Chains A and B, each alone.
Chain A
Amino acid sequence: MAKVEMTVNGRMTSANVEDRTLLVDYLREEKNLTGTHVGCDTSQCGACVVHVDGKAVKSCTVLAVQAAGSDVRTIEGLAGDDQLHPMQEAFRNNHGLQCGFCTPGMIMSAVDMVNRLGPKLSEATIRAELEGNICRCTGYHNIVKSIAAGAKAMGKGMKKAAE
């Protein structure tokens, strides 16, 4: 057992967990943040993607103790008080989800994509960058459309913030 402390969505958290506890289980079971999903549990599908110190990672393949001291952001930490994050809004407007299971991971990967590559993303780039996120419903078309729109909206937000 280890006392694991980390910042989750801006709040300091701690829990006594076994060393073998996965980060995704720390978030879901200890912190009741069930927006992060376990899909394949083999680091393929991306339903468990969260940001650790600003970088997208598959939380089913990170131990909670490895993330101790880190700054973690989950899908629950994206939106403002009463406003969706532009990427969430874009998924809503573009019908970027059907069953919704993969959506939290898709959105966290999409936000990471914009953080790394900027708000102007070509369709080819988005498709290549989605290598590690699997969706079984949509056929990806509307996810790609959503990410392009969300990226653009994030770009506008960045510009506004800069002004």
Chain B
Amino acid sequence: MYDTTYTRAKDASDAAKKMRAAEDGQFIAGGHTLLPTMKQRLAAPSDLIDISHIKGMADISVSRKDVTIGAAATHASVANHSKLMKVCPSLCELASHIGDPAVRNRGTIGGSIANNDPAADYPAAMVALGATIVTNKRKIRADRFFTGMFETSLKEDEVIKAVTFKAPKSGAYAKFPNPASRYAMAGVYVADHGKKDIRVGVTGASSGGVYRAKNMEKALAKDFSADAIDGCKVDEGDMLSDIHGSAAYRANLVKVMAKRAIAAAG
């Protein structure tokens, strides 16, 4: 790892100020993607600005169906939050399968979505849940937040404070983990928001990162059943292709995972 300078931010505006003053800064919370990347010298930020100690940043609140999850909330705290479990168990379930127990004690939801790894789990949930990403500057709809592989609409000195969403009527996430890394080779989050508003978020598979399977959403609005998506085409041309699976394999996986999620959401 190259040398770096670490500081803790007092609040979100302090974090933004420190970022503007840094030559090539990075926000850090759990650091479970950033630190491994730095160890491999694939990243060499001059400054690390720790946002995990900001007051309230790791809080989770649930009021009826309204959910707010602080950016520095760990995967473990999302997985085990009893109120969240009542209104949106599918998100707890998703969080409980990220990495391993020790990783879940450090990795955060804010870090996951800011990094927008094409194989990360949370981005699929964010678009399927119709979440809003709250930053120190504005509120961004999840659909507009994720702009491509490892790309988001976040500005340089913009720090995620929380994500908010309304718990769906029902939802489920199904993923096919890479047998070695356990990252999603295809992960599909299906959420039924009622009144024919169905959203399907797909991660792990596409070369463009997370996306909404609009054709499946349309089919499910008419008939919420696994069979309803039989006729939906998954474009191979957009899929990732590597030693773990060809584009055709991943396209097929997307449909299989979607069907499993639909059946589970039932």
Contacts and interface: CB of A to CB of B under 8 A. Distances in A.
Contact of A65 (B1, B3, B6): B6
A63 B101 contact: no
A43 interface: yes
Contact of A132 (B5, B36, B99): B99
Contacts of B36: 42-43, 61
- Of the listed residues B1, B35, B50, the one surrounded by the most CB atoms of chain A closer than 10 A to its CB is B35
A58 interface: yes
A129 B96 CA distance: 11
A19 B105 CA distance: 22
Contacts of B50: 66
B4 A19 contact: yes
A132 B76 CA distance: 14
B100 A62 contact: no
Nearest to B76: A55
B106 interface: yes
A109 interface: yes
A43 B31 CA distance: 11
Contact of A58 (B1, B39, B102): B102
A62 B36 CA distance: 10
B131 to A, nearest CB: 26
B42 interface: no
Contacts of A66: 6, 28, 31, 50
A131 B101 contact: yes
B48 interface: yes
B31 A62 contact: yes
8 tightest Cβ-Cβ pairs between the two chains A and B = A132-B100, A131-B100, A19-B6, A55-B105, A65-B6, A56-B102, A20-B1, A58-B102
Given A57-B105, A57-B106, A66-B28, 12 more contacts: A20-B1, A42-B36, A42-B39, A43-B32, A43-B36, A56-B105, A58-B106, A62-B35, A116-B101, A129-B101, A131-B182, A132-B102
19 contacts: A2-B6, A19-B48, A20-B1, A42-B36, A42-B39, A43-B36, A49-B102, A56-B102, A57-B102, A58-B102, A61-B106, A62-B31, A63-B35, A65-B6, A66-B6, A109-B102, A112-B101, A112-B102, A131-B99
